[in-house]
Chains A and B, each alone.
Chain A
Amino acid sequence: MVSDLVSDEGTLRIIKQCRPPGQVLLELTGEADLRAEAALCAVLAGLAAKPVVTDIHVDLSGLRFIDVAATRSLVLAAATLGPGRRMVVRGAPAAMRRTMEFCWADYTALEVSSG
Chain B
Amino acid sequence: MAESAVAQGTFGHAALFYRTEDDYVTPIAGFLREGLEAGEPAFVAVPAAKAALLREALGPDAGRVRFADMTAMGRNPAWIIPRVRAFVDEHSGRHVRYVGEPVWETRTAAELREATKHEALINLAFAGADADILCPYDTARLDPAVIAQAHQTHPELLCDGLREASAAYSGPLGLPSSCSSPLPCPPHDAMSFTYTTDLSEVRALVEKHARDAGLTDARAADLVLAVSEVAANTLRHARSPGTLSIWRDDDEIVCEIHDEGTITDPLAGRRRPAPDAAGGHGLWLVHQLCDLVELRSDSNGTTVRMHMALNPL
User: Which residues of A pack against B, CB within 8 Å?
Assistant: 11, 31, 33-35, 65, 67-69, 72, 75-76, 79, 94-95, 98-99, 102-104, 106-107
> Size class of B's contact patch?
20 to 34
Q: How far is the CA of A86 from the CA of B200 in the complex (A)?
A: 31
Q: Which residues of chain B come closer than 8 Å to A103, judged between CB atoms?
A: 273, 275, 281, 284-285
B225→A104 contact, CB < 8 A: no
Question: What total of A-B pairs shows CB separation below 8 Å?
Answer: 59
Q: How far is the CB of B199 from chain A (nearest CB, A)?
A: 5
B275→A95 contact, CB < 8 A: no
A34→B221 contact, CB < 8 A: no
Q: Which residues of chain A come closer than 8 Å to B217, judged between CB atoms?
A: 94
B232→A98 contact, CB < 8 A: no
Specify which of B197, B275, B285 is in contact with A68 (CB 8 Å cutoff). Answer: B285
Main secondary structure of the interface of B (DSSP, over half): helix
Q: How far is the CB of A20 from chain B (nearest CB, A)?
A: 32
Q: How far is the CB of A74 from chain B (nearest CB, A)?
A: 13
Q: Which residues of chain B come closer than 8 Å to A104, judged between CB atoms?
A: 275
B281→A98 contact, CB < 8 A: no
B288→A65 contact, CB < 8 A: no
Does B302 interact with chain A (Cβ within 8 Å)?
Answer: no
Q: List 8 A-B contacts (CB under 8 A).
A: A35-B197, A67-B225, A69-B282, A72-B281, A94-B218, A99-B285, A103-B281, A104-B275
Q: How far is the CB of B231 from chain A (nearest CB, A)?
A: 9
Q: How far is the CA of A11 from the CA of B273 in the complex (A)?
A: 28
- Closest chain A residue, CB of each to CB of B218: A94
A67→B221 contact, CB < 8 A: no
Q: How far is the CA of A12 from the CA of B61 in the complex (A)?
A: 58
Produce 1/0 per residue, B268-286, CB < 8 A to A.
0000010110000110110
A68→B218 contact, CB < 8 A: no
User: Which residues from 210 to 245 on chain B have a C-beta closer than 8 Å to any C-beta of chain A?
Assistant: 217-218, 221-222, 224-225, 228-229, 232, 235-236
B232→A69 contact, CB < 8 A: yes
Does B94 interact with chain A (Cβ within 8 Å)?
Answer: no
Q: How far is the CB of B63 from chain A (nearest CB, A)?
A: 29
3 closest A-B pairs by CB: A94-B221, A102-B288, A95-B225
A98→B273 contact, CB < 8 A: no
Q: How far is the CB of B207 from chain A (nearest CB, A)?
A: 10
Q: Which residues of chain A come closer than 8 Å to B275, judged between CB atoms?
A: 75, 103-104, 106-107
User: Which residues of B pack against A, CB within 8 Å?
Assistant: 197, 199-200, 203, 217-218, 221-222, 224-225, 228-229, 232, 235-236, 273, 275-276, 281-282, 284-285, 288-289
Q: Which residues of chain B come closer than 8 Å to A79, judged between CB atoms?
A: 276
B197→A98 contact, CB < 8 A: no
- Known A34-B235, A98-B285, A106-B275; 6 more pairs at CB < 8 Å: A11-B200, A35-B197, A67-B228, A68-B229, A94-B218, A98-B221
Specify which of A34, A76, A95 is in contact with B276 (CB 8 Å cutoff). Answer: A76
Q: Which residues of chain B come closer than 8 Å to A35, judged between CB atoms?
A: 197, 199
Q: Which residues of chain A come closer than 8 Å to B282, judged between CB atoms?
A: 67-69
Contact A33 B232, CB 8 Å, known A68-B281, A107-B275? yes
Q: How far is the CB of B215 from chain A (nearest CB, A)?
A: 13
B199→A34 contact, CB < 8 A: yes
Q: Which residues of chain B come closer than 8 Å to A69, judged between CB atoms?
A: 232, 282
Q: How far is the CA of A94 from the CA of B221 in the complex (A)?
A: 7
B222→A98 contact, CB < 8 A: yes
B221→A95 contact, CB < 8 A: yes
- Closest chain B residue, CB of each to CB of A96: B225
Contact A102 B284, CB 8 Å, known A65-B203, A76-B276, A95-B224? yes
Q: How far is the CB of A41 from chain B (nearest CB, A)?
A: 13
- Closest chain B residue, CB of each to CB of A103: B281
